[in-house]
Amino acid sequence: MSIVEQDVLYVERVPEPLECPEFLEWFRPLYLSAVNEHPWDRTIHQRVDGTFYVRWSEFSEPSDPLSERTVSVSTLLTPEGPTAYRPLYTPSVREQDRRREDGIRLHRWIECVLNGFPMDPEPLDLVQQQVQAYYRENLHQKLRPWRTEMIIRSTTDHLVVGVVDALFVEEHPSMPTSETLFLHLKDWKCSPDVTTCYEEYVLQLNTYQFILESAYTGIPFQYSGQTYHHLRVLSRQLVLFHPDLPSYRLVEVRDIQPEIRMRMHLRKKSLN
């Protein structure tokens, strides 16, 4: 099936000043998405307000009734998740806004760093220092960023979309040369602890893995001068940054692909 390219509007000017919170709401670095493009990117139309639409086939339109049944990964998992995984209290509107702003700042700052955008404000706050320490100790000369804030889509069997914080390629001379690109999935959290939500994150990241390994298979794409046809996720990890932490914290996310395949099978049946 051929892919029809979408006209996606990008904001290309560099905002000033850098510390302006409004710019973090809409600015999107494009380097990694440009040099490591995947053909499925062309079927996703993202608007400036953050919403996006998927062209599920070359004949469909974003307003196609088929796309109205599309759900995000978080929406798909939330109704089925045990209530024990929910927060023990409901934050106030002000606290929710603060958390949202902190999360946006963290994600956008990391995104800019990984895309090579010069962001070195002085003095660095504690969270930014944690990000730099994490980069030096875990990423530099070990993992190469492949994509950041990547919008991914399932096949038409499931009609699920999601946004992956970051995907990295392992830089290791012994890695086999094949048609499969081996990736490490990272999810950034602006939180000192994820105990109460951990199981939800396990479902979320494993669903991302399922989509990448199933919907993105058999489609040729280029990386570093080589053609690949498949994606495989080797690890899933939550990376926590927060002023209340003495340093960044790493939380490994276990593999539950059999359960995700069962859930996606039920999703497919529900759409028929």
All structural domains of the chain, each given as residue ranges with its CATH number in brackets, are 70-271 (3.90.320)
pLDDT of residue 96: 63
User: Mean pLDDT, 10 residues at a time, over the chain (272 residues)?
Assistant: 31 36 55 92 73 70 60 68 37 64 83 76 78 83 88 90 92 68 94 92 95 94 91 95 94 96 92 84
Query: What local confidence, expressed as pLDDT, does residue 93 receive?
Result: 57
**Using an 8 Å Cβ cutoff, are 207 and 73 in contact?**
yes
Name the CA radius of gyration of the chain, rounded: 19
Q: Does this model's pTM top 0.75?
A: yes
Q: Strands 160-170, 143-153: parallel, antiparallel or unpaired by DSSP?
A: antiparallel
Are residues 201 and 87 in contact, defined by beta-carbon separation less than 8 angstroms?
no
Calpha distance 233→219 (Å, rounded) = 16
Task: Kindly tell me the burial class for residue 102, based on how many C-beta atoms sit within 10 Å of its own C-beta (0-12, 13-18, 19 or more).
Answer: middle
Rounded CA separation 220/18 (Å): 37
Residues 152, 162 contacting (CB under 8 angstroms):
yes
Could you identify the residue written with the tokens 């209530």? Answer: 83
Q: How many other C-beta atoms are found inside a 10 Å radius of the C-beta of residue 135?
A: 16
- CA–CA gap between residue 99 and residue 242 (Å, rounded): 11
Residues 6+ apart with CB under 8 A from 61: 55
Phi, psi torsion values for 162, nearest 5 degrees: -160, 170
Burial class (CB in 10 A: 0-12, 13-18, 19+), 23: middle
Q: Are 194 and 251 in contact (CB under 8 A)?
A: yes
- Residue 54: the pLDDT is 81
Structure confidence at residue 80 (pLDDT): 45
Would you call the peptide bond into 123 cis, given omega within 30 degrees of 0 as the criterion? Answer: yes
